[in-house]
Every structure is written in structure tokens, then in C-alpha cells.
Amino acid sequence: MGNRVALLWYAADGGAPGEVGRANRLAPLSNAMARQGFDPVPIPYSHATHDAAEGKLDGCSAVMTWVNPIEGGRDRSRLDELLHKLEQSGIVISASHEARRLLGTKAVVHTTRHMAWGTDTRLYTSHEELVDQFDDTLRNAGPRVLKQERGQSGDGVWKVEAIGPSMVRVTSAATDEVAEHPLVAFLDRWTEAFAGSGIVVDQPFLPLVNEGMIRCYMSGAQVLGLIHQLPKEGGLNVSRSGLRRTEGLAGNSYYYSAHSTPHPSLVDQLNGFWIDELCDAVGLNQLDLPALWDIDFIATSADSYALCEINVNSVSPPIEGPVDDIAATLATRLGT
């Protein structure tokens, strides 16, 4: 098998020739691939350029992708079909078909609810179930967070609070917009979330979200490091907000290696048993864990953490992160 490795990312305008990611974000990883002896091939991707991108994949031995589940208002099902076909032909995909299926949706929060990182999580497989059951859960268990099966940057994620016998206050995790609605009217908006085989996940609201989300970067079963993302004051969205830095980091770095993190117990639990338990829970072999992925947590108390979500589809390597470790994981999977 050859040494060409495709770096494929979503670019709504088709991207510029030779560009490697937005703001050159993927350039350090591309350089790391070259140090491993690979020939990195940059491929900007959009729905309109799918066929052209497929042609550029010819002769590649591996493909790393950065395309969110929903881009430009459309899902990535056509790309997933192509990646599955390539994987079946022996090409290494950064996040395998099984990893995308078993880890890459919000359902994993429910599947792993029995683990130490789990919470009182419910899963609804139809709009009828949501309407029949959610009201009682909300009244008896306090504020909840509803999440559609796929999304990113807070899209399709809402905090829901009861403010009267039939009224709720809802906060969008994507925009921090707050509104009040009759519960029935709000739940009616979720009909489309169940299209096809869609599901909705229902978690308790975790008050310590106001102290931020802890994103753990992973390569295979290896913990690379983490960043601590802070929401805007009074809001929920952490995807476009600030980062938290503590003493001991050089310059303007916000990335903590696995060996210098302010959350050592989190890293210890991931290394010690959580990754093993995760694989057992979803039925995934550790060798099928993505070459680059992340696990997002919210603290519930000191040294205690709850799973927020797992991302496998479009995880950009942190600028200060160990890109050589990611390249080495891919090299191992290619047998080089």
C-alpha cells in the first residue's frame, strides 16, 4: 500500500488549491505526517465537489476527515457511504464506520449511563415517547437538557426548565437564546429529530456547566491532553467562547498535556478503566478507536466528571497538541 494520506475537510466554497484547513489549522498535522514518511494530500470537500474529492482519494492508503454531521444544512451521509466503501477495500479511515456509528452520536451518552461518568439519562425513540414521558421527568427531576442525535457547536441542544404547570423556559446551547413556551408547543418542534431512525437524548442539567467544559483529546486509546472551554457569562455555549488557563503553561498556551493537566484524576480514570468500559459498553474494539477524537466532560464535583458528548467526525488537533502522536497512531494502523 502506498504512502499517500488524504486530509479531507469541509470547505463550503471548495477551498483554495493547496490550502490545508482553515487558517492553516491542519498544517502542523500535515507536517507530522510528512515526518512519518507519508505524502499528505489536502482535499477541501463540499457537497457540490463530492465527485471531484472522490477522484482525489484514488491511490491514498488512509483518509483523515474533518466534516461535521451537518454541514451547510445537509448531512454527510454521502461522504459516509464513500468512506465505508473505502474502508471495506482496505483503506484506513481516521474514524472507522463502527466508530462513527457507535461513538459519533448523542446516543453514546445513554449507552454509557451506567459508567461512573454517567447521569440519569433517558432516550426517546419517537416523538410520542418524548411527549408521553418528558413532562413527568421534568417535573420530578428538575431542569433537563434535550439533545438531538447529531449536531455540533450546541445545535439541537436545549436546556429546559419548568416555570409553571404547562410552561417551560428553554435556553439554546448554540446561541444562548432564552425563550418561554408552552411545553406542548416546544415538544412539537422536535418532530423532525425522529426522522428516519432518529433519537433524542435527555440528560439532567449540570449546574457546574457555568465553570466550563473539559475537552479531552484522544488518539486511539491514548489521552493526548485537554483544554478547558468556558461559556459566556450566564450562557451555555462553550464552542465559540473563551478558554481557561492556569499557572505552569508557557506563553499563550491553553492546551494541557496529559502529564501536566489540572485534572489529573480525569486522565487517570480515562487511562485506568473508562476507555476499556466505553469499548465494552458500545461493543467496539480499541483498535477501532479513531486516530483523533475527543471526549467532553462537565465537572459534577471535585474529581468527579459527567460525560457531555463524544466527537469523532470533525476534531481539529489543538494547535499546541502532540500531532506526532496522531501521525504515529495512523502509521501503526498502516503497519509502517
Report the candidate in 214, 211, 318, 309 with the shortest Cα–Cα distance to residue 266. Answer: 214
pLDDT at 2: 67
Cα(27)–Cα(42) distance, rounded to whole angstroms? 10
The reported pTM is 0.92
Neighbours of 321 (CB within 10 A): 21
Pairing of strands 157-162, 144-148: antiparallel
pLDDT at 232: 77
Which of 88-102, 106-120, 220-234 has the weakest average pLDDT? Answer: 220-234
What domains can you pick out in the chain, each with its CATH number? 4-95 (3.40.50), 103-118+209-312 (3.30.470), 122-205 (3.30.1490)
The stretches of 105-182 forming alpha helices (DSSP H) are 107-111, 127-141
Report the candidate in 298, 146, 132 with the shortest Cα–Cα distance to residue 215. Answer: 298
Cα(93)–Cα(63) distance, rounded to whole angstroms? 5
pLDDT at 308: 93
Stretch 98-104: mean pLDDT: 94
Contact 78, 48 (CB under 8 A): no
Over residues 25-50, the pLDDT tens digits come to 888 999 999 999 999 999 989 889 99
Stretch 128-134: mean pLDDT: 96
Share of the chain above pLDDT 90, in %: 64
The average confidence (pLDDT) of the chain is 89
Contact 145, 202 (CB under 8 A): yes
- Give every CB contact of residue 297 below 8 A, 6+ residues apart in sequence: 117, 213, 214, 215, 216, 266, 305, 306, 307, 308
Q: Answer whether residue 132 shows pLDDT above 50.
A: yes
pLDDT at 21: 45
pLDDT at 15: 58
334 vs 23 pLDDT, higher one:
334
pLDDT at 35: 95
- Tell me the three cell numbers of residue 38: 507519508
Q: Answer whether residue 51 shows pLDDT above 90.
A: yes
Over residues 244-289, the pLDDT tens digits come to 776 556 666 688 889 888 899 999 999 999 999 999 999 999 989 9
Over residues 285-321, the pLDDT tens digits come to 998 999 999 999 998 887 899 999 999 999 988 777 7
